[in-house]
Structure 1
Amino acid sequence: MYSNVRIVMMYTSHPGNIGAVARAMKNMGLGELCLVSPKSFPDIVAERRAAGAKDILADAKVVETFDEALEGCVAVVGASARGRKIPWPVMNPRDCAKKVREFALLPKTGSDQENQNKVAIVFGREDRGLTNDELQRCNYHVHIPTNPDYGSLNVAMALQVVAYELRMDYLLYSGLGDATQAAPTLSPENDGWDEALATSDEVEGLIGHLEAVMIKTEFFDPENPRQLIPRLRRLFQRSRMDKIEVNIMRGFLNTVLKAIKDKC
Protein backbone atom coordinates (compact mmCIF):
# COMPACT_ATOMS: atom_id res chain seq x y z
CA MET A 1 0.00 0.00 0.00
CA TYR A 2 1.54 3.34 1.06
CA SER A 3 5.29 3.12 1.64
CA ASN A 4 5.37 6.75 2.81
CA VAL A 5 2.96 6.48 5.76
CA ARG A 6 4.80 6.40 9.10
CA ILE A 7 3.08 5.07 12.23
CA VAL A 8 4.41 6.79 15.36
CA MET A 9 3.88 5.41 18.89
CA MET A 10 4.62 7.75 21.78
CA TYR A 11 6.23 6.54 25.02
CA THR A 12 4.63 3.09 24.88
CA SER A 13 4.67 1.47 28.32
CA HIS A 14 3.65 -2.11 27.42
CA PRO A 15 5.74 -3.90 24.75
CA GLY A 16 2.78 -6.10 23.89
CA ASN A 17 1.05 -3.07 22.37
CA ILE A 18 4.02 -2.52 20.07
CA GLY A 19 3.74 -6.09 18.84
CA ALA A 20 -0.02 -5.80 18.37
CA VAL A 21 0.41 -2.58 16.38
CA ALA A 22 3.04 -4.23 14.18
CA ARG A 23 0.62 -7.06 13.45
CA ALA A 24 -2.21 -4.63 12.62
CA MET A 25 0.11 -2.67 10.35
CA LYS A 26 1.13 -5.74 8.39
CA ASN A 27 -2.52 -6.83 8.09
CA MET A 28 -3.30 -3.56 6.33
CA GLY A 29 -0.11 -3.20 4.26
CA LEU A 30 1.75 -0.58 6.29
CA GLY A 31 5.46 -1.01 6.96
CA GLU A 32 7.08 1.97 8.69
CA LEU A 33 6.94 2.05 12.50
CA CYS A 34 8.62 4.68 14.65
CA LEU A 35 8.78 4.38 18.45
CA VAL A 36 9.38 7.42 20.63
CA SER A 37 11.20 6.40 23.81
CA PRO A 38 9.37 3.10 24.51
CA LYS A 39 9.70 1.68 28.01
CA SER A 40 10.95 -1.67 26.74
CA PHE A 41 12.05 -2.44 23.18
CA PRO A 42 13.24 -4.77 21.76
CA ASP A 43 11.23 -7.13 23.93
CA ILE A 44 10.19 -10.78 23.70
CA VAL A 45 6.60 -9.85 24.60
CA ALA A 46 6.42 -7.55 21.58
CA GLU A 47 7.75 -10.31 19.33
CA ARG A 48 5.16 -12.78 20.62
CA ARG A 49 2.30 -10.36 20.06
CA ALA A 50 3.56 -9.48 16.59
CA ALA A 51 3.06 -13.07 15.38
CA GLY A 52 4.00 -12.98 11.67
CA ALA A 53 4.92 -9.29 11.70
CA LYS A 54 8.36 -9.55 13.29
CA ASP A 55 9.84 -7.88 10.21
CA ILE A 56 7.95 -4.70 11.12
CA LEU A 57 9.58 -4.80 14.56
CA ALA A 58 13.00 -5.51 13.09
CA ASP A 59 12.76 -2.45 10.88
CA ALA A 60 11.20 -0.20 13.54
CA LYS A 61 13.06 3.02 14.26
CA VAL A 62 13.49 4.02 17.91
CA VAL A 63 13.99 7.74 18.66
CA GLU A 64 14.11 9.85 21.81
CA THR A 65 11.98 12.83 20.82
CA PHE A 66 8.80 13.73 18.96
CA ASP A 67 10.82 16.02 16.69
CA GLU A 68 12.90 13.07 15.51
CA ALA A 69 9.76 11.02 14.84
CA LEU A 70 8.31 13.75 12.61
CA GLU A 71 11.49 14.41 10.68
CA GLY A 72 10.82 14.67 6.95
CA CYS A 73 7.02 14.54 7.24
CA VAL A 74 4.89 17.00 5.26
CA ALA A 75 1.69 16.15 7.15
CA VAL A 76 1.03 14.87 10.67
CA VAL A 77 -2.21 13.30 11.93
CA GLY A 78 -2.69 12.82 15.68
CA ALA A 79 -5.14 10.34 17.18
CA SER A 80 -7.25 12.11 19.79
CA ALA A 81 -10.21 11.08 21.91
CA ARG A 82 -10.64 14.41 23.70
CA GLY A 83 -11.96 17.83 22.83
CA ARG A 84 -9.55 20.77 22.98
CA LYS A 85 -9.77 24.39 24.10
CA ILE A 86 -8.69 25.60 20.67
CA PRO A 87 -10.63 23.93 17.82
CA TRP A 88 -8.41 21.95 15.43
CA PRO A 89 -9.27 20.23 12.14
CA VAL A 90 -10.77 16.89 13.28
CA MET A 91 -11.70 13.97 11.01
CA ASN A 92 -13.19 10.52 11.41
CA PRO A 93 -11.00 7.62 10.19
CA ARG A 94 -12.69 7.46 6.78
CA ASP A 95 -12.11 11.12 6.02
CA CYS A 96 -8.63 10.80 7.49
CA ALA A 97 -7.85 8.08 4.94
CA LYS A 98 -8.83 10.40 2.10
CA LYS A 99 -6.70 13.20 3.49
CA VAL A 100 -3.68 10.90 3.89
CA ARG A 101 -4.14 9.77 0.28
CA GLU A 102 -4.12 13.37 -0.92
CA PHE A 103 -0.71 13.91 0.62
CA ALA A 104 0.76 10.45 -0.01
CA LEU A 105 -0.03 10.56 -3.72
CA LEU A 106 1.01 14.17 -4.36
CA PRO A 107 3.17 14.58 -7.47
CA LYS A 108 6.81 14.71 -6.43
CA THR A 109 8.95 17.72 -7.31
CA GLY A 110 12.58 18.72 -6.94
CA SER A 111 15.62 16.52 -6.47
CA ASP A 112 14.91 14.79 -3.13
CA GLN A 113 11.95 12.74 -4.33
CA GLU A 114 12.66 9.61 -2.31
CA ASN A 115 11.69 11.23 1.01
CA GLN A 116 8.86 13.46 -0.20
CA ASN A 117 5.22 13.23 0.83
CA LYS A 118 5.88 11.40 4.08
CA VAL A 119 2.80 11.35 6.33
CA ALA A 120 2.96 10.53 10.05
CA ILE A 121 0.00 9.13 12.01
CA VAL A 122 0.68 9.50 15.71
CA PHE A 123 -0.74 7.44 18.59
CA GLY A 124 -0.24 8.51 22.19
CA ARG A 125 0.43 6.88 25.52
CA GLU A 126 -1.79 4.02 26.64
CA ASP A 127 -3.08 5.86 29.72
CA ARG A 128 -3.56 9.42 28.49
CA GLY A 129 -2.96 9.67 24.76
CA LEU A 130 -1.22 12.69 23.28
CA THR A 131 -0.53 15.87 25.24
CA ASN A 132 -1.90 19.23 24.15
CA ASP A 133 1.57 20.30 22.99
CA GLU A 134 1.94 17.16 20.89
CA LEU A 135 -1.51 17.56 19.35
CA GLN A 136 -0.65 21.13 18.42
CA ARG A 137 2.19 19.75 16.30
CA CYS A 138 -0.35 17.88 14.17
CA ASN A 139 -2.00 19.26 11.06
CA TYR A 140 -5.11 17.18 11.69
CA HIS A 141 -6.67 15.12 14.45
CA VAL A 142 -8.42 11.82 13.84
CA HIS A 143 -11.19 10.79 16.21
CA ILE A 144 -12.84 7.36 16.22
CA PRO A 145 -16.57 7.83 16.98
CA THR A 146 -16.94 5.15 19.65
CA ASN A 147 -19.82 4.49 22.04
CA PRO A 148 -20.05 7.71 24.11
CA ASP A 149 -20.70 5.61 27.23
CA TYR A 150 -17.42 3.73 26.78
CA GLY A 151 -14.95 5.28 24.38
CA SER A 152 -11.69 3.77 25.64
CA LEU A 153 -9.72 2.04 22.88
CA ASN A 154 -6.49 0.09 23.15
CA VAL A 155 -3.82 1.74 20.99
CA ALA A 156 -3.55 -1.30 18.70
CA MET A 157 -7.34 -1.33 18.25
CA ALA A 158 -7.30 2.35 17.34
CA LEU A 159 -4.49 1.78 14.85
CA GLN A 160 -6.37 -1.15 13.31
CA VAL A 161 -9.44 1.01 12.68
CA VAL A 162 -7.43 3.80 11.08
CA ALA A 163 -5.26 1.40 9.05
CA TYR A 164 -8.35 -0.45 7.78
CA GLU A 165 -9.84 2.78 6.47
CA LEU A 166 -6.52 3.65 4.85
CA ARG A 167 -6.47 0.32 3.05
CA MET A 168 -10.12 0.45 1.95
CA ASP A 169 -9.74 3.98 0.61
CA TYR A 170 -6.54 3.02 -1.22
CA LEU A 171 -8.11 -0.07 -2.80
CA LEU A 172 -11.24 1.80 -3.88
CA TYR A 173 -9.25 4.67 -5.28
CA SER A 174 -6.69 2.60 -7.15
CA GLY A 175 -9.47 0.40 -8.53
CA LEU A 176 -10.85 3.40 -10.45
CA GLY A 177 -7.72 3.62 -12.57
CA ASP A 178 -4.00 4.13 -12.36
CA ALA A 179 -3.59 5.80 -8.96
CA THR A 180 -0.08 6.97 -9.77
CA GLN A 181 -1.29 8.84 -12.86
CA ALA A 182 -4.49 10.18 -11.29
CA ALA A 183 -2.92 11.40 -8.09
CA PRO A 184 -4.76 14.43 -6.67
CA THR A 185 -2.88 17.65 -6.11
CA LEU A 186 -2.83 19.61 -2.89
CA SER A 187 -4.90 22.45 -4.38
CA PRO A 188 -7.68 21.43 -6.76
CA GLU A 189 -7.35 24.68 -8.74
CA ASN A 190 -3.75 23.81 -9.69
CA ASP A 191 -2.33 21.14 -11.97
CA GLY A 192 0.55 20.54 -9.57
CA TRP A 193 2.70 22.20 -6.97
CA ASP A 194 5.97 23.80 -8.03
CA GLU A 195 7.85 23.13 -4.78
CA ALA A 196 8.05 20.33 -2.23
CA LEU A 197 5.99 20.86 0.90
CA ALA A 198 7.82 22.00 4.01
CA THR A 199 8.42 19.29 6.59
CA SER A 200 7.07 19.46 10.12
CA ASP A 201 10.49 20.35 11.54
CA GLU A 202 10.95 23.15 8.99
CA VAL A 203 7.60 24.69 9.92
CA GLU A 204 8.44 24.33 13.61
CA GLY A 205 11.74 26.11 12.97
CA LEU A 206 9.84 28.99 11.36
CA ILE A 207 7.49 29.21 14.35
CA GLY A 208 10.46 29.33 16.73
CA HIS A 209 12.09 32.01 14.58
CA LEU A 210 8.88 34.07 14.55
CA GLU A 211 8.53 33.72 18.33
CA ALA A 212 12.09 35.04 18.80
CA VAL A 213 11.35 38.07 16.61
CA MET A 214 8.08 38.79 18.40
CA ILE A 215 9.88 38.72 21.74
CA LYS A 216 12.64 40.98 20.40
CA THR A 217 10.09 43.52 19.12
CA GLU A 218 8.12 43.25 22.40
CA PHE A 219 5.03 42.12 20.50
CA PHE A 220 4.99 38.88 22.50
CA ASP A 221 5.51 38.54 26.24
CA PRO A 222 6.63 34.98 27.10
CA GLU A 223 5.63 35.64 30.72
CA ASN A 224 2.03 36.18 29.59
CA PRO A 225 1.74 34.00 26.48
CA ARG A 226 -2.01 33.42 26.46
CA GLN A 227 -2.69 31.31 23.34
CA LEU A 228 -0.68 33.29 20.80
CA ILE A 229 1.85 30.58 19.87
CA PRO A 230 -0.71 27.72 19.65
CA ARG A 231 -2.90 29.89 17.41
CA LEU A 232 0.03 30.83 15.19
CA ARG A 233 1.05 27.18 15.05
CA ARG A 234 -2.50 26.27 13.98
CA LEU A 235 -2.35 28.92 11.26
CA PHE A 236 0.91 27.63 9.82
CA GLN A 237 -0.13 23.97 10.09
CA ARG A 238 -3.38 24.74 8.29
CA SER A 239 -1.75 26.72 5.50
CA ARG A 240 0.46 23.82 4.27
CA MET A 241 3.52 25.90 3.35
CA ASP A 242 6.11 24.71 0.88
CA LYS A 243 9.88 24.95 1.38
CA ILE A 244 10.29 28.19 -0.58
CA GLU A 245 7.50 29.87 1.39
CA VAL A 246 9.17 28.92 4.66
CA ASN A 247 12.50 30.25 3.38
CA ILE A 248 10.88 33.54 2.34
CA MET A 249 9.35 34.00 5.78
CA ARG A 250 12.60 33.19 7.56
CA GLY A 251 14.53 35.53 5.28
CA PHE A 252 12.13 38.33 6.15
CA LEU A 253 12.49 37.59 9.86
CA ASN A 254 16.27 37.72 9.56
CA THR A 255 15.92 41.14 7.91
CA VAL A 256 13.75 42.32 10.80
CA LEU A 257 16.33 41.17 13.35
CA LYS A 258 19.14 42.87 11.39
CA ALA A 259 17.16 46.14 11.27
CA ILE A 260 16.63 45.99 15.03
CA LYS A 261 20.34 45.38 15.61
CA ASP A 262 21.39 48.23 13.29
CA LYS A 263 18.96 50.60 14.99
CA CYS A 264 20.45 49.80 18.38
Structure 2
Amino acid sequence: MVEDYRTHPNLAKIKIVLVETSHPGNIGAVARAMKNMGLSQLVLVNPKEFPSQVASVRASGAADVLNDAQVVASLDDAIADCQVVVGASARMRKVSWPQLDVRQTAQLAMETVSADAQAQVAILFGREDSGLSNAEMDKCHYLAHIPTNPTYSSLNIAAAVQVFVYEFLMATDIKSVHQAEGYRHQLASAEQLEGFYDHLYQALQDIAFLDPSKNARFMRRMRRLFNRSQLDVKEIDILRGILTAAQRQSNQLKTLTQDRD
Protein backbone atom coordinates (compact mmCIF):
# COMPACT_ATOMS: atom_id res chain seq x y z
CA MET A 1 0.00 0.00 0.00
CA VAL A 2 1.29 3.48 -0.88
CA GLU A 3 2.13 5.57 2.16
CA ASP A 4 0.37 8.87 2.87
CA TYR A 5 2.08 11.29 0.47
CA ARG A 6 1.48 14.21 2.82
CA THR A 7 4.01 12.80 5.27
CA HIS A 8 6.30 10.84 2.96
CA PRO A 9 9.78 12.42 3.04
CA ASN A 10 11.05 10.96 -0.23
CA LEU A 11 8.76 13.03 -2.43
CA ALA A 12 10.41 16.17 -1.05
CA LYS A 13 13.71 14.99 -2.57
CA ILE A 14 12.42 15.04 -6.15
CA LYS A 15 13.02 18.19 -8.20
CA ILE A 16 10.87 19.05 -11.19
CA VAL A 17 13.07 21.27 -13.36
CA LEU A 18 11.55 23.31 -16.19
CA VAL A 19 14.09 24.64 -18.69
CA GLU A 20 13.33 27.99 -20.34
CA THR A 21 9.56 27.63 -20.22
CA SER A 22 7.99 30.25 -22.47
CA HIS A 23 4.36 30.23 -21.30
CA PRO A 24 3.76 31.11 -17.62
CA GLY A 25 0.48 29.20 -17.65
CA ASN A 26 2.43 25.99 -18.07
CA ILE A 27 4.44 26.79 -14.95
CA GLY A 28 1.27 27.23 -12.93
CA ALA A 29 -0.24 24.03 -14.30
CA VAL A 30 2.93 22.11 -13.40
CA ALA A 31 2.77 23.46 -9.83
CA ARG A 32 -0.80 22.20 -9.57
CA ALA A 33 0.12 18.76 -10.93
CA MET A 34 2.97 18.53 -8.44
CA LYS A 35 0.84 19.44 -5.44
CA ASN A 36 -1.81 16.91 -6.49
CA MET A 37 0.78 14.17 -6.02
CA GLY A 38 2.65 15.57 -3.03
CA LEU A 39 5.79 17.01 -4.68
CA SER A 40 7.03 20.46 -3.75
CA GLN A 41 10.42 21.21 -5.34
CA LEU A 42 9.88 23.23 -8.52
CA VAL A 43 12.97 24.73 -10.19
CA LEU A 44 12.73 27.13 -13.13
CA VAL A 45 15.74 27.61 -15.39
CA ASN A 46 15.65 31.02 -17.04
CA PRO A 47 11.86 31.19 -17.53
CA LYS A 48 10.61 33.71 -20.08
CA GLU A 49 8.03 35.21 -17.71
CA PHE A 50 7.95 34.61 -13.96
CA PRO A 51 6.45 35.59 -11.53
CA SER A 52 3.22 35.87 -13.46
CA GLN A 53 -0.45 36.36 -12.68
CA VAL A 54 -1.23 33.83 -15.40
CA ALA A 55 0.90 31.24 -13.60
CA SER A 56 -0.82 32.02 -10.30
CA VAL A 57 -4.28 31.55 -11.81
CA ARG A 58 -3.32 28.25 -13.45
CA ALA A 59 -1.76 26.98 -10.20
CA SER A 60 -5.26 26.98 -8.65
CA GLY A 61 -4.62 26.04 -5.03
CA ALA A 62 -0.92 25.27 -5.42
CA ALA A 63 0.28 28.78 -4.64
CA ASP A 64 2.71 27.42 -2.04
CA VAL A 65 4.51 25.29 -4.63
CA LEU A 66 4.56 28.19 -7.09
CA ASN A 67 5.72 30.78 -4.57
CA ASP A 68 8.50 28.50 -3.33
CA ALA A 69 9.75 27.81 -6.87
CA GLN A 70 13.48 28.38 -7.25
CA VAL A 71 14.51 30.46 -10.26
CA VAL A 72 18.07 29.88 -11.53
CA ALA A 73 20.09 31.14 -14.47
CA SER A 74 21.49 27.83 -15.70
CA LEU A 75 20.80 24.12 -15.73
CA ASP A 76 24.04 23.52 -13.84
CA ASP A 77 22.68 25.62 -10.97
CA ALA A 78 19.45 23.62 -10.96
CA ILE A 79 21.03 20.17 -10.73
CA ALA A 80 24.31 20.84 -8.90
CA ASP A 81 23.22 19.01 -5.73
CA CYS A 82 21.38 16.13 -7.47
CA GLN A 83 22.69 12.57 -7.57
CA VAL A 84 20.44 11.38 -10.42
CA VAL A 85 19.30 13.52 -13.36
CA VAL A 86 16.70 12.28 -15.85
CA GLY A 87 15.72 14.15 -18.99
CA ALA A 88 12.11 13.84 -20.13
CA SER A 89 11.82 13.82 -23.91
CA ALA A 90 8.82 13.92 -26.21
CA ARG A 91 10.77 12.20 -28.97
CA MET A 92 13.48 9.62 -29.40
CA ARG A 93 16.88 11.12 -30.20
CA LYS A 94 19.48 10.25 -32.83
CA VAL A 95 22.11 10.33 -30.09
CA SER A 96 21.76 7.25 -27.90
CA TRP A 97 21.24 7.77 -24.17
CA PRO A 98 20.33 5.10 -21.60
CA GLN A 99 16.54 4.82 -21.70
CA LEU A 100 13.97 4.42 -18.93
CA ASP A 101 10.22 4.45 -19.01
CA VAL A 102 8.38 6.65 -16.52
CA ARG A 103 7.72 3.84 -14.05
CA GLN A 104 11.37 2.78 -14.09
CA THR A 105 12.32 6.41 -13.52
CA ALA A 106 10.12 6.58 -10.44
CA GLN A 107 11.52 3.31 -9.09
CA LEU A 108 15.10 4.47 -9.61
CA ALA A 109 14.35 7.79 -7.94
CA MET A 110 12.83 6.17 -4.86
CA GLU A 111 15.67 3.67 -4.56
CA THR A 112 18.19 6.51 -4.78
CA VAL A 113 16.64 8.74 -2.14
CA SER A 114 15.95 5.77 0.14
CA ALA A 115 19.62 4.76 0.03
CA ASP A 116 20.98 8.22 0.85
CA ALA A 117 19.23 10.69 3.12
CA GLN A 118 21.02 13.57 1.38
CA ALA A 119 20.31 12.45 -2.19
CA GLN A 120 18.13 14.39 -4.60
CA VAL A 121 16.77 13.48 -8.03
CA ALA A 122 15.99 15.93 -10.83
CA ILE A 123 13.58 15.38 -13.71
CA LEU A 124 14.17 17.84 -16.55
CA PHE A 125 11.49 19.13 -18.89
CA GLY A 126 12.59 21.20 -21.88
CA ARG A 127 11.19 24.06 -23.89
CA GLU A 128 7.66 23.81 -25.27
CA ASP A 129 8.84 24.08 -28.89
CA SER A 130 12.18 22.25 -28.91
CA GLY A 131 12.59 20.30 -25.67
CA LEU A 132 16.06 19.74 -24.25
CA SER A 133 19.20 20.35 -26.29
CA ASN A 134 21.83 17.64 -26.77
CA ALA A 135 24.18 19.60 -24.49
CA GLU A 136 21.52 19.55 -21.77
CA MET A 137 20.90 15.86 -22.32
CA ASP A 138 24.63 15.26 -21.85
CA LYS A 139 24.14 16.24 -18.21
CA CYS A 140 21.51 13.52 -17.70
CA HIS A 141 22.07 10.01 -16.43
CA TYR A 142 19.02 8.75 -18.31
CA LEU A 143 16.44 9.78 -20.87
CA ALA A 144 12.77 9.05 -20.15
CA HIS A 145 10.17 8.93 -22.91
CA ILE A 146 6.40 8.81 -22.54
CA PRO A 147 4.91 6.60 -25.27
CA THR A 148 1.98 8.30 -26.99
CA ASN A 149 -0.33 7.92 -29.96
CA PRO A 150 2.04 8.17 -32.96
CA THR A 151 -0.55 10.15 -34.92
CA TYR A 152 -0.87 12.74 -32.14
CA SER A 153 2.17 12.54 -29.91
CA SER A 154 2.46 16.10 -28.57
CA LEU A 155 2.07 16.36 -24.79
CA ASN A 156 1.65 19.61 -22.90
CA ILE A 157 4.41 20.07 -20.30
CA ALA A 158 1.94 19.92 -17.42
CA ALA A 159 0.43 16.70 -18.80
CA ALA A 160 3.88 15.15 -19.07
CA VAL A 161 4.75 16.22 -15.53
CA GLN A 162 1.45 14.75 -14.28
CA VAL A 163 2.40 11.34 -15.67
CA PHE A 164 5.77 11.43 -13.92
CA VAL A 165 4.57 12.72 -10.54
CA TYR A 166 1.77 10.14 -10.40
CA GLU A 167 4.37 7.39 -10.81
CA PHE A 168 6.52 8.97 -8.10
CA LEU A 169 3.58 8.87 -5.70
CA MET A 170 2.87 5.24 -6.53
CA ALA A 171 6.54 4.32 -6.00
CA THR A 172 6.92 5.82 -2.53
CA ASP A 173 6.77 2.40 -0.86
CA ILE A 174 9.85 1.18 -2.77
CA LYS A 175 12.91 0.57 -0.61
CA SER A 176 16.44 0.79 -1.89
CA VAL A 177 18.26 -2.45 -2.65
CA HIS A 178 21.34 -0.73 -1.28
CA GLN A 179 19.81 -0.57 2.19
CA ALA A 180 19.79 -4.36 2.43
CA GLU A 181 23.38 -4.48 1.22
CA GLY A 182 24.56 -2.08 3.89
CA TYR A 183 25.31 0.59 1.28
CA ARG A 184 26.49 3.76 2.97
CA HIS A 185 28.55 5.84 0.53
CA GLN A 186 26.96 9.03 -0.74
CA LEU A 187 26.34 9.16 -4.49
CA ALA A 188 28.22 11.86 -6.39
CA SER A 189 26.23 14.99 -7.18
CA ALA A 190 25.85 16.43 -10.67
CA GLU A 191 28.30 19.18 -9.72
CA GLN A 192 30.90 16.60 -8.63
CA LEU A 193 30.34 14.60 -11.83
CA GLU A 194 30.80 17.70 -13.98
CA GLY A 195 34.06 18.41 -12.15
CA PHE A 196 35.19 14.86 -12.89
CA TYR A 197 34.24 15.11 -16.58
CA ASP A 198 36.16 18.39 -16.89
CA HIS A 199 39.15 16.75 -15.21
CA LEU A 200 38.87 13.67 -17.45
CA TYR A 201 38.77 15.81 -20.59
CA GLN A 202 41.80 17.83 -19.50
CA ALA A 203 43.77 14.73 -18.51
CA LEU A 204 43.06 13.01 -21.83
CA GLN A 205 44.24 16.14 -23.61
CA ASP A 206 47.38 16.25 -21.48
CA ILE A 207 48.33 12.70 -22.45
CA ALA A 208 47.46 13.35 -26.12
CA PHE A 209 44.76 10.68 -26.15
CA LEU A 210 41.89 12.64 -27.65
CA ASP A 211 41.31 12.96 -31.37
CA PRO A 212 40.20 16.61 -31.86
CA SER A 213 37.75 15.58 -34.59
CA LYS A 214 35.98 13.12 -32.25
CA ASN A 215 36.17 14.85 -28.86
CA ALA A 216 32.45 15.52 -28.43
CA ARG A 217 31.37 12.01 -29.42
CA PHE A 218 34.02 10.37 -27.24
CA MET A 219 33.18 12.44 -24.16
CA ARG A 220 29.48 11.73 -24.64
CA ARG A 221 30.28 8.01 -24.53
CA MET A 222 32.37 8.52 -21.40
CA ARG A 223 29.47 10.35 -19.76
CA ARG A 224 27.11 7.51 -20.58
CA LEU A 225 29.56 4.94 -19.24
CA PHE A 226 30.14 6.65 -15.89
CA ASN A 227 26.54 7.84 -15.48
CA ARG A 228 25.36 4.23 -15.72
CA SER A 229 27.75 3.36 -12.89
CA GLN A 230 26.15 5.83 -10.44
CA LEU A 231 29.53 6.76 -8.99
CA ASP A 232 29.73 7.61 -5.32
CA VAL A 233 31.85 10.37 -3.81
CA LYS A 234 34.73 8.08 -2.87
CA GLU A 235 34.83 6.58 -6.36
CA ILE A 236 35.02 10.07 -7.86
CA ASP A 237 37.96 10.83 -5.57
CA ILE A 238 39.73 7.63 -6.65
CA LEU A 239 39.21 8.30 -10.35
CA ARG A 240 40.36 11.90 -10.06
CA GLY A 241 43.40 10.72 -8.14
CA ILE A 242 44.26 8.41 -11.03
CA LEU A 243 43.83 11.26 -13.51
CA THR A 244 46.05 13.53 -11.44
CA ALA A 245 48.76 10.86 -11.29
CA ALA A 246 48.56 10.38 -15.07
CA GLN A 247 48.86 14.12 -15.62
CA ARG A 248 51.82 14.33 -13.27
CA GLN A 249 53.60 11.48 -15.05
CA SER A 250 52.87 13.03 -18.44
CA ASN A 251 54.26 16.39 -17.34
CA GLN A 252 57.41 14.73 -16.00
CA LEU A 253 57.97 12.93 -19.31
CA LYS A 254 57.47 16.18 -21.21
CA THR A 255 60.01 17.91 -18.97
CA LEU A 256 62.58 15.13 -19.48
CA THR A 257 62.08 15.28 -23.24
CA GLN A 258 62.55 19.04 -23.26
CA ASP A 259 65.71 18.77 -21.15
CA ARG A 260 67.19 16.23 -23.56
CA ASP A 261 66.46 18.51 -26.48
Structures share a fold, TM > 0.5? yes
Deviation at residue 165 of structure 1 after TM alignment: 1.4
- Between the aligned partners of 1:224 and 1:168, the Cα distance in structure 2 is 43
How much has 1:46 moved relative to structure 2?
Answer: 0.7
- TM (norm. structure 2) is 0.89
| Residue in 2 that maps onto 1:176 | none
CA contact (8 A) 2:80 2:190 kept: yes
Contact in 1 for aligned 2:90/2:155 (Cα 8 Å): no
Q: Which residue of 2 aligns with 1:247?
A: 237
> Per the alignment, in what secondary structure is the counterpart of residue 52 of structure 1?
coil
Tell me, in whole angstroms, the C-alpha distance in 2 between the residues paired with 1:209 and 1:257: 10
- Aligned pair count? 245
1:162 to 161, 164, 184: 164
Q: Which residue of 1 aligns with 2:186?
A: 196
Where do 5+ consecutive residues of structure 2 fail to align?
6-10, 256-261
The answer to whether the Cα contact below 8 Å between 1:98 and 1:169 also exists between their aligned partners in 2 is yes
- Please report the RMSD computed on the Cα atoms of aligned residues, expressed in angstroms: 1.6
- Name the SS for the 1:57 alignment partner: helix
Take 2:219 and 2:92, find their aligned partners in 1: how far apart are those partners? 19
User: What residue identity is the alignment partner of 1:216?
Assistant: D
Equivalence for 1:93:
102
Q: Indicate the larger mover: 234-243 or 248-257.
A: 248-257
For the pair 1:237 / 2:227, whether they are aligned, the reply is yes
Name the one with the larger helix percent.
2
- The amino acid that maps onto 2:73 is E
Q: Which runs of no fewer than 5 residues in structure 1 stay unpaired?
A: 174-178
**Native 8 Å contact 1:185 1:192 kept in 2:** no
Q: Which of 18, 35, 40 is the equivalent residue of 1:31?
A: 40
Alignment of 1:1-264 (within 5 A): 1=5, 2-106=11-115, 108=116, 113=117, 116-170=118-172, 173=173, 183-186=175-178, 191-225=181-215, 227-263=217-253, 264=255
1:86 deviates by 3.6
- The one-character-per-residue Cα deviations of 1:180-210 (angstroms, maximum 9, x if unpaired) are xxx3234x8x612231000111111111101
Look up the equivalent residue of 2:189 and give its one-letter code.
T
CA-CA distance at 1:249 after TM superposition: 0.9
1:50-88 deviations in whole A, cap 9, x for unaligned?
A: 111111111111111111110111101110122223432
Deviation readout 1:139-159 (Å, 9 max, x if unpaired): 111111110111100101100
1:225-255 residue CA offsets vs partner (Å, 9 max, x unmatched):
2510100000010010000100111112112
TM-score (norm 1): 0.88
Q: Which has the larger radius of gyration?
A: 2
Q: Distance in 2 between matches of 1:192 and 1:117?
A: 16
Alpha-carbon distance between aligned partners in 2 of 1:14 and 1:152, rounded to the nearest angstrom = 16
2:209 aligned partner, one-letter code = F
Give CA-to-partner distance per residue, 1:107-163, whole Å, 9 cap, x none. Answer: x3xxxx5xx110001100010111112112111111111101111001011001111
Amino acid at match of 1:124: G
In structure 2, how many angstroms separate the alpha carbons of the residues matched to 1:61 and 1:230? 29
